Homo-oligomer: A and B are copies of this chain.
């Protein structure tokens, strides 16, 4: 189902932007897995808005309530974990003008045609970026499990609106915001410490899984691993990473054009991918749309409160998506080993 991700570590996201709540149910964590709620909250805080003048003025406390699955010692009991975040500070009225006028770059038009008049449009409904909060809960818990295995997931911004100098990121965002416009960017995510041999062949490869998860983050329009699109311009002799002896009998590569993945499986080198995030489609500048009742072109000015750039808030989402995909593959790896029951 489209709201779920994963085979063995599986989470199901529910809720809409202006419904009573959003949340997530997480299955497959082995009983006894530690979950540190304070660390999780700190992770969620990286996604939360309202930290700076650069993000939406909507106040989202994003403090999840735990409903099930965790014992008093902070370890999973074997039942699914469910977390709930109440929606508050909603201003559904802001969206009334958008009921029949789809916003360019948004899911509005296909959602109208797909779900009909019963679709929940205020705040973007189930397509709201707010649904990345439950993704970060599931992924944040996966990150905690990976760290126990010595695996660390770390994403960072490579560029904002084409600007690659981190010191000028804020300036670039403010410039766009000042014009009632928005900017996107590129995020790079690196996973350190993943042992080799994780991932499955063909459609269960790490690239397939991570891509499936990452495209679940709204606004992502591309993903590449290792050298990615640049590899398409290289010769084999330049692109292939030679194998060299590593510490303790391991084998490593010189260079990492393969991004830590060959044949869908980890090689033991850092897993590296980059994702392209398009500019926030909700902008204050006037745009052209069509009123679906009349079929006529209408000017559209989007009110409401929107981030001029969601890239900074998408950084932990990228880590969450990658961690969930990897941890799922690690659980799957366990059951492919011969042994006792």
CA distance A5 to B1 in the complex (A): 11
CA distance A207 to B221 in the complex (A): 8
Residue of B nearest to A273 (CB): B222
Q: A182-B236, A264-B107 are in contact. Are A31 and B116 (CB under 8 A)?
A: yes
Which residues of B are found within 8 Å of A183, using beta-carbon distances? 234-236
A1 close to B16 (CB less than 8 A): no
Find A14's partner among B69, B182, B195 (CB 8 Å cutoff). B69
Which residues of B are found within 8 Å of A28, using beta-carbon distances? 1, 335-336
A102 close to B243 (CB less than 8 A): yes
A245 close to B296 (CB less than 8 A): yes
CA distance A80 to B3 in the complex (A): 8
Residue of B nearest to A80 (CB): B14
Find A16's partner among B68, B115, B225, B287 (CB 8 Å cutoff). B68
Mark each residue of chain A from 327 to 339: 1 if its CB lies under 8 Å from any CB of chain B, else 0: 0001111111111
Interface residues on A, range: 35 or more
Find A251's partner among B224, B266, B292 (CB 8 Å cutoff). B292
B278 close to A232 (CB less than 8 A): yes
A14 close to B235 (CB less than 8 A): no
Which residues of B are found within 8 Å of A292, using beta-carbon distances? 251
21 example contacts (A-B, Cβ-Cβ < 8 A) are as follows: A2-B264, A14-B79, A20-B66, A22-B68, A28-B335, A76-B118, A77-B115, A77-B120, A78-B115, A182-B236, A207-B220, A211-B211, A223-B223, A224-B276, A229-B229, A229-B276, A234-B278, A240-B281, A243-B288, A245-B290, A333-B335
Residue of B nearest to A13 (CB): B202
Q: Is A55 an interface residue (CB 8 A)?
A: no
Mark each residue of chain A from 106 to 133: 1 if its CB lies under 8 Å from any CB of chain B, else 0: 1111110111111110000111000100
Which residues of B are found within 8 Å of A76, using beta-carbon distances? 118
Q: Is A165 an interface residue (CB 8 A)?
A: no
Q: Is A21 an interface residue (CB 8 A)?
A: yes
Find A242's partner among B113, B200, B202, B287 (CB 8 Å cutoff). B287
Q: Is A23 an interface residue (CB 8 A)?
A: yes
Residue of B nearest to A298 (CB): B243
Q: Is A162 an interface residue (CB 8 A)?
A: yes
Q: Is A189 an interface residue (CB 8 A)?
A: no
Residue of B nearest to A8 (CB): B335
Which residues of B are found within 8 Å of A82, using beta-carbon distances? 14-15, 21, 23
Most chain B CB within a 10 A radius of its CB, from A118, A181, A205? A118
CA distance A106 to B333 in the complex (A): 20
Q: Which of A4-41 contact B (CB under 8 A)?
A: 4-5, 7-8, 10, 12-16, 19-23, 25, 27-28, 30-33
Q: A5-B203, A162-B233, A182-B237 are in contact. List 13 more A-B contacts (CB 8 A).
A: A2-B264, A8-B332, A16-B69, A20-B68, A77-B118, A104-B241, A161-B232, A183-B236, A184-B233, A202-B216, A223-B223, A229-B276, A245-B296
Find A119's partner among B77, B108, B229 (CB 8 Å cutoff). B77
CA distance A201 to B28 in the complex (A): 12
Q: Is A277 an interface residue (CB 8 A)?
A: yes
CA distance A146 to B185 in the complex (A): 35
